[in-house]
Structure 1
Amino acid sequence: MGSALLPTLRRKPEVDAAIRDTLDKVLVLRFGRADDAACLHLDDILAKSSWDISRFAMVALVDMDSEEMQVYIDYFDITLVPATIFFFNAQHMKMDSGTPDHTKWIGSFSSKQDFIDVVEAIFRGAMKGKLIVSCPLPPERIPKFQLLFKDV
């Protein structure tokens, strides 16, 4: 079910509209499942942070179990949940966090402040015209994961 404070997008046209219509703000899309413990932890952090970042960002949850979302899941190669993807003015924003994948944040954030710091860094970089920004968090607070490549 996700957070009652955050909109949940279940259809592809809803995600398309959110990406297209969110102007001059960072759009934070959390891809995951409402019954996953890691997603619930991240949803709690996102909900608690949404008011603090409301001047420069908007947060929405994306239900991965919807068949229509398979296009996004394949495009962004989402295999681990939760996966958080950032956009600014319909442009996909990337972040160099020292992990092999710069296209998304995999896992939860350690704290509300970590999430706010990441979104603020993306917003500041986007306002300067950057498409990739450096992660403001120290390496010990960045989730580690192993990438597994299919058919390689």
Structure 2
Amino acid sequence: MSFLFMTLTKKQEVDSIIRDTIDKVLVLRFGRSSDAVCLQLDDILAKSSREVSKFATVALVDIDSKEIQVYVKYFDITLIPSTIFFFNAQHMKMDSGTADHTKWVGAFHRKQDFVDVVEAIFRGAMKGKLIVTCPLPPERIPKFQLFFKDV
């Protein structure tokens, strides 16, 4: 399914897509195409791409690329897949009841969950918000233990 989306392997490509995606939510999936959970997420992204195409752009970011490591460190991506959202070059955060509001970790349970999240981010962004509340019920939000280093 990843052939449907642009795969970014260079920092410059990520910089450009963040800068050039205007009036749409930019969905960046950080991961690797060989990972089972990434493939599950990519399938959901592909199935919903038509529904969100009017208000979102999806791109995949190859987490193993040397040039991408600056983003991996910046967004503290330790678990894959991690999905990060932007709107007009602004990092969009989402309160989903987890400790980390900066990214979505794991796959979505179903297509409609992804559509609902992107729609909530888009609506919030249109109102000037930088953080939105996750529209999904807690049981459909992946839970991960976060271990903080150097705290």
Fold similarity call, TM over 0.5: yes
Aligned residues: 151
Q: Name 1:69's counterpart in structure 2.
A: 68
Could you tell me how far apart the structure 1 residues matched to 2:8 and 2:48 are?
Answer: 19
Instruction: Give 1:23 shift.
Output: 0.1
Q: Which runs of 5+ in 1 are unaligned?
A: none
Instruction: Give 1:20 shift.
Output: 0.1
Q: Point out the structure with the larger helix share.
A: 2
Q: Name 1:137's counterpart in structure 2.
A: 136
Could you tell me how far apart the structure 1 residues matched to 2:47 and 2:10 are?
Answer: 25
1:126 is paired with a residue whose SS is helix
CA RMSD after TM alignment: 0.7
Instruction: Give 1:48 shift.
Output: 1.0
Q: Name 1:79's counterpart in structure 2.
A: 78
Q: Name 2:126's counterpart in structure 1.
A: 127
Runs of 4+ that moved beyond 3 A: none
Q: TM-score, normalised by structure 2?
A: 0.98
Query: What is the percentage of aligned positions where both structures have the same residue?
Result: 77
Counterparts in 2 of 1:2-151, with a 5 A limit? 3-151=2-150
Instruction: Give 1:4 shift.
Output: 1.0
The more displaced of 43-52 and 78-87 is: 43-52
Deviation per CA, 1:84-140: give whole Å up to 9, x if none: 000000000000000000000000000000000000000000000000000000000
Deviation per CA, 1:13-56: give whole Å up to 9, x if none: 11000000000000000000110000000001001111110000
Instruction: Give 1:151 shift.
Output: 2.5
Q: TM-score, normalised by structure 1?
A: 0.98
Q: Which runs of 5+ in 2 are unaligned?
A: none
